[in-house]
């Protein structure tokens, strides 16, 4: 075989090896969602690729047969083609034995480098950049090779299956898509600029509905505007004017004895018609939905759907009212900053290293804003105020401070034992550990 013929054979073997490399990496990297879109658009090859992904054993067997056969032939042809010429070249300066060794080593290095660069690295990087399109391009010739090499494929595939059974390993790929997979994709899309950050946050909030309790979205007990059943017309009108809401619980005696609720539209209709407003009328007071405070927001949505209601009273294990929640509250939690006005924001970033946070802010939102992954005793509280109470072991006072994971939490305002505002600031740019320290004001327990 002449040098020219040897180079042609080597080139052919490099192209063949590159084909098998592309076939291997493209099938492994091809995303089923993208392939499904291509199949729905009429590309029958995408459907074939998905079927092969479900049982890829025979496919990868053909790939390995091709890669190994080509590599062995490339080594034989390359060494026989280049080694004599290089040996003759080195014999000008070296002894025959050393010249032969040098010629063999340089021939081996040259052929190996060509295969590494053009038959492995380049095609595999190419396959990673556009796996779905390449997978559908190579699927037809690969299926042909699977038919031609069926006996060898059967032999090696069954041998591999036997090894998997002996080792107790799964032989098929798990293509189930989890919420973590979807969140990772949306995060990557947001970082790439394909998905707006608020839109990505909406998707993340949807998946958090199963972990957030209703307390993270409710209106707390001290902010509930309610009527007593025997309130006179003047009191009802004054409360509507002072605290305009869409729905009001109706109680008997006190807030912990809720008997129903009234819709503001019904009250306004009576007021506009100059009719007296009395809550003893059955046509005004509606049956109310009562839910426990341990429900998640997803469970609350299901309760709304089953009861055909969009308003509920939340009670604790002692049957005491702890808050109220509406469908709008839940959807506001999902939509986040897309629907939240500046006045409603619970977390306000002052600068790069400090935040002003409402004490009622759910810890999931605090964690996301501050980038802190772990919190002490996380199962004992749901809000920033609860975190401070657990850390201080008492009701916080103004100027109380807690440090955690390089963050300093300072209480700025307390209203009737309720923590209104907390200043959070970074204590240092580089914090290796996450130590806890508590600073109590004088006179504390």
187 versus 314: which is more confidently predicted? 314
Tell me the pTM. Answer: 0.55
Is residue 268 scored above 50 in pLDDT?
Answer: yes
Q: Which residues of 355-366 are buried (b: 16+ CB within 10 A; e: fewer)?
A: bbbbbbbbbbbb
Per the listing, tokens 């394909």 go with: 194
435 versus 131: which is more confidently predicted? 131
Average pLDDT value over all residues in the chain:
81
Is residue 245 scored above 60 in pLDDT?
Answer: yes
- pLDDT tens-digit map of 104-155: 777 777 777 777 777 778 888 888 888 888 888 888 888 888 888 888 878 8
The residues with which 312 forms a beta bridge, in sequence order, are: 289, 325
Q: How far apart are the first and last CA of the chain?
A: 95
- pLDDT tens-digit map of 173-194: 666 777 777 878 788 887 877 7
Q: Where are the domains of the chain?
A: 3-167, 179-208, 214-336, 346-439
Is residue 281 scored above 70 in pLDDT?
Answer: no
Pick among 3.40.50.300, 3.90.1260.10, 3.40.50.1100, 3.10.580.10: CATH of 214-336: 3.10.580.10
Distance CA 98, CA 111 (A): 20
Whether residue 22 contacts residue 130, with contact meaning beta carbons closer than 8 Å, is answered with: no
Strand bridging mode 227-228 / 247-252: parallel
CA angle 439, 220, 246 (to 5 degrees): 150
In percent, how much of the chain has pLDDT > 70?
87
- pLDDT tens-digit map of 42-99: 888 888 888 888 777 778 888 888 888 877 777 676 666 666 666 666 777 777 777 7
pLDDT given at position 299 = 92
The residues with which 436 forms a beta bridge, in sequence order, are: 404
Is residue 444 scored above 50 in pLDDT?
Answer: no
Distance CA 301, CA 309 (A): 10
pLDDT given at position 435 = 45
Tell me which DSSP letter residue 373 carries.
-
Question: 346-439 in CATH: which number?
Answer: 3.30.465.10
Look up residue 311 and give its two tokens. Answer: 């308003």
Please provide residue 210's backbone torsions phi and psi, each rounded to the nearest 5 degrees. Answer: -80, -15
pLDDT given at position 80 = 61
pLDDT given at position 369 = 83
């Amino acid at each position: 075989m002449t040098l020219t013929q040897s180079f042609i054979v080597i080139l052919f073997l490099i192209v063949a090896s590159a084909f098998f490399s592309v076939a291997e990496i493209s099938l492994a990297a091809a995303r089923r969602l993208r392939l499904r879109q291509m199949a729905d658009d009429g590309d029958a090859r995408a459907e074939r690729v998905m079927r092969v992904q479900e049982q890829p054993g025979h496919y990868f067997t053909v790939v390995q047969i091709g890669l190994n056969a080509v590599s062995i032939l490339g080594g034989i042809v390359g060494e026989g083609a280049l080694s004599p010429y290089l040996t003759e070249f080195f014999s000008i300066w070296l002894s025959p034995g050393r010249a032969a060794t040098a010629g063999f080593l340089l021939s081996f290095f040259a052929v190996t480098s060509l295969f590494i660069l053009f038959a492995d690295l380049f095609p595999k990087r190419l396959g990673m950049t556009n796996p779905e399109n390449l997978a559908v391009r190579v699927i037809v010739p690969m299926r042909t090779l699977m038919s031609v090499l069926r006996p060898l494929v059967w032999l090696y595939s069954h041998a591999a299956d036997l090894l998997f059974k002996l080792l107790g390993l799964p032989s098929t790929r798990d293509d189930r898509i989890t919420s973590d997979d979807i969140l990772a994709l949306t995060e990557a899309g947001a970082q790439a600029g394909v998905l707006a950050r608020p839109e990505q946050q909406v998707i993340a909030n949807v998946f958090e509905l199963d972990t957030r309790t209703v307390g993270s979205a409710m209106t707390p007990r001290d902010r509930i505007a309610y009527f007593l059943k025997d309130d006179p017309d003047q009191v009802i009108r004054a409360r509507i004017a002072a605290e305009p809401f869409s729905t009001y619980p109706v109680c008997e005696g006190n807030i912990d004895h809720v008997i129903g609720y009234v819709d503001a539209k019904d009250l306004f209709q009576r007021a506009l018609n100059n009719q007296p407003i009395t809550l003893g009328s059955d046509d005004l007071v509606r049956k109310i939905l009562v839910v426990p405070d341990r429900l998640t927001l997803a469970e609350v949505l299901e309760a709304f759907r089953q009861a055909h209601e969009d308003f509920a009273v939340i009670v604790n294990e002692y049957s005491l009212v702890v808050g109220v929640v509406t469908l709008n509250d839940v959807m506001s939690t999902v939509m986040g900053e897309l629907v939240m006005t500046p006045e409603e924001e619970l977390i306000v970033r002052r600068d790069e290293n400090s935040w002003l946070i409402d004490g009622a802010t759910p810890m999931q939102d605090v964690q996301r804003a501050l980038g802190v992954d772990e919190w002490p005793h996380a199962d004992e509280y749901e809000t920033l105020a609860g975190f401070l109470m657990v850390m201080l072991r008492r009701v916080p006072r103004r100027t109380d401070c807690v440090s955690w994971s390089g963050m300093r939490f300072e209480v700025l305002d307390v209203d009737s034992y309720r923590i209104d505002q907390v200043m959070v600031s970074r204590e240092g740019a580089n914090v290796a550990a996450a130590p806890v320290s508590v600073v109590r004001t004088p006179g504390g327990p």
